[in-house]
Homo-oligomer: A and B are copies of this chain.
Amino acid sequence: MERPLIEEIHDRIDEFTSTERKAAYALLANYPVQGLDTVANFAKAAGVSSPTILRFVARLGFPGFADFQGRLRKELASQLNTPLARSSELQQVPPDNMDPLVAQMVDNVRETFAHLPKGELEGVIRLLADEKRTIHLIGGRFTDALARYTAAHLRIVRPNVIHVAGQQGNWFDQLLGVGSKDVIVVFDIRRYQTEIIRFAETAAAQGASVVLVTDSWMSPVGRIASFVLPARVAVPSPWDSSTALMAIAEVLIAGVSAANPERSQKRMQALEDLRNGHDPSKGGETMPDGE
């Protein structure tokens, strides 16, 4: 068969108009089930009108919605008919006796970057490297650690980096004065927290750019995000894996450092001096939790 439609949509995401992209994300978020519903329901789920759905499938090259659904059914049928063949595919990767969990994590990182739209990464890095903008980072129950990690690094290479943490009630205080010069970076995977979604939406409404790092295109934040970086998180374990998310974070950090090497160098040096001057023997200043 031809290559999976989901991959094509993912790779061609840039060709779509903004509302068509909403349709694409809605479909990817619940693939392929969302596409097997009626046009009207699909439209409602995506937050767009019916004609937009039709234009979306037309741009994908289908003469009509029925043909599109036919393709989805065909893919689904062939996928469901070879469940065991597929799952054994997972263990083919390790040449040696590698833990399947580890093998999958390695694969997730590779696959994540193989499918990241190239322009998407560059766009985000350009945004984050712009020091005239203020960066706000926020994450969910587990992914907050990633937001913190990224903030700790970005803070070193550029000014105006804020990690949104602590009491949820206080989050919205931080939205005061947020506007088109601000960037919100959201780490959000399944079990999306409504507070985070509201935070991102409010910020977007005030004109801020939203960058979303998420699992396979599912977060509702995707609708209002300027950039979406989807990562593979599935592993043979009750948990989702954040390893690929961490890899994305590090690529962003490296990219921002490289985007302006002199500035990064200078700031690192200055911080080094400050640290030594303040306290040569003990690392006595505010520590990891210094918010």
On A, residues with C-beta under 8 Å from B are: 4, 6, 26, 29-34, 36-37, 41, 44-45, 47, 69, 73, 76-77, 79-80, 83-84, 86-93, 95-96, 98-99, 101-102, 104-107, 109-111, 113-115, 139-142, 144-146, 148-149, 152-153, 165-168, 193-195, 197, 216, 220, 232-243, 246-247, 250-251, 253-254, 257-258, 264, 268, 281-284, 286-290
- Could you say which of B114, B281, B287 contacts A167, with CB atoms under 8 Å apart? B287
Nearest-Cβ distance from residue A239 to partner chain B, whole angstroms: 6
Q: How far is it, in angstroms, between the C-alpha of A123 and the C-alpha of B207 when the chains are bound?
A: 51
- The answer for the CA separation of A77 and B26 in the assembled complex, in Å, is 13
Q: Which chain B residues border A89 with CB–CB below 8 Å?
A: 4, 6, 88, 90-92, 216, 234
Q: Which residues on the B side are within 8 Å of A268 (C-beta)?
A: 238
Complex CA distance for A37 and B73, rounded to whole angstroms: 8
Query: Are B88 and A34 in contact, with the CB atoms below 8 A?
Result: no
Choice from B26, B109, B284, B286 contacting A105 with Cβ under 8 Å? B109
Is A45 a contact of B289 with CB atoms below 8 Å? Answer: yes
Provide the residues of chain B in CB contact with A153, threshold 8 Å: 142, 239
Using Cβ atoms and an 8 Å threshold, which residues of chain B touch A99?
113, 251
In the complex, which of the residues B73, B86, B90, B145 contacts A146, with contact meaning CB atoms closer than 8 Å?
B145
Q: Give the chain B neighbours of A45 by CB distance below 8 A.
A: 286-289
Alpha-carbon distance A254/B235, docked complex (angstroms) = 10
